[in-house]
Structure 1
Amino acid sequence: MLNKILYAFCIVALISCDSNDDNDGNMTNTDFNYFPLSVTNTWDFEITTGTDTPSNESLTVETVSGTEFTLISDPIAPTGFMTRILSGGALKSENGALIGNGNIDFGLQGLNNFNVAIENGTLYDQNANINAELFSTTGTTSQTVDGYDLDITYEVRTVQQEDIAQMVVEGITYSDIIHSQLIINATVTTDILTQQIALLTPQDVIVINNYWSRDIGLIKSDNQLNYQLSDFSSFGFTLPVPQSASILTTQNLVTYTVL
């Protein structure tokens, strides 16, 4: 269950976002749209985790009001992380940035009503400099999994990466691509016989690379989970998860309809 908990850390990355890039005095560029806003615009994705059988899901623009919009997913409870993010609340396109607000219930097995409020969470900023940190936040949460009380401390930051001229996804060539990255560092501790032990020392457990193409939207999202648990065998207990893991989940755009 611990690896599923680590996936849930991702969503807290959108909480309490603090922008700090200065663009080196460059003028704000809002000429290009990296998430076209028209009702019924639809994006179909293929989701693959490791060697599992791929699954398919879609995002559709449901409402548009000025620069604010909402998306719905099919299925309603999607497995793709970015599908959940984008369909989990209200979005707005503002000054070249995509910003999210709302509440998301992950509903993952082993988590107790993991509802997270998103407030002004920037997903990308087309005017940010390379390696600029778009926002960062820290926090703590507690979860009980299989009878173990786990205390989770996380640090999250989002970084704008270098633009990409072209990328091929599922046989289709896309141009003018924004690349943004979400990094989640986490620590997990628990109390055993009045002694606190670290199950997971501070690690970048999740790195998500998102790619957004001009006039198209999200074309690819690579979600890499890595962790290495501490050796706590001397305490005489085990957790129902592997000692370490490296799991890649890809979300690739297959077809789209953009007006």
Structure 2
Amino acid sequence: MATDKLTIEICVEGTDGLVAAQKGGADRVELCASLIEGGLTPSFGVVHEALRLSHIPFHVIVRPRGGDFLYSKAEFAAMLADVTALRELGVAGIVIGCLTEKGDIDEARTTALVEAARPMSVTCHRAFDMTRDYRAAVEALVRCGVDRVLTSGQRDTAVQGMDILKDTVQLAAGRLVIMACGELDANNIAAVRAGTGVTEMHFAAPKTAKSPMAFRNPHVGMGGDNLEREYELTQTDSAAVARTIAAARD
């Protein structure tokens, strides 16, 4: 039985996901919209409702669009405005990531976001995994004052990235929390924890449910050619959350 402290964060889409993650035993939630794009900033109505419903901390992703992490001046201004608004609402933390065109952490922008966020906790998301040198990125994030980084070890999955995850933990040396992610589930989470030494882990536990809509117009699609997909809901599976957390802590 592992006895050292482990924090489990669940990535969710919207308030229903937050409630399901709480039910499954999560320690913390990352609150997003549009997980199909890797997570975008949720609406402030969603954040207000999350504050009403939550009894665990949640961190809100500040990401204005999908795609890369090289933002225009207008996009970055919007990110700063979102951070300020989230701080004023009393949210526990934010999740950010800005890169330069050469694939380094954008230290000027990251520092500005950290300063705007305080006293909120600040996590750098998997923009870290898109940097050209993860060792240099660790040092840059420490200089910027970021609290933690979410990473799969610069690979598609945490299992594939275990060696880099372990090295990243050692490089951080307690200056930065390393939070492992990347297709973690009940079958692999304990091995990743044991093999890397991380103290925080992050995963989503999605399931697909059919929409209760009885009427479906076959002639109109809202977002592509796959009309059936528009009548499927992505939900957080609280039972899968509980199973994976139990496996991590066994």
TM-score by length of 2: 0.32
- Is the strand fraction higher in 1 or 2? 1
Higher helix share: 2
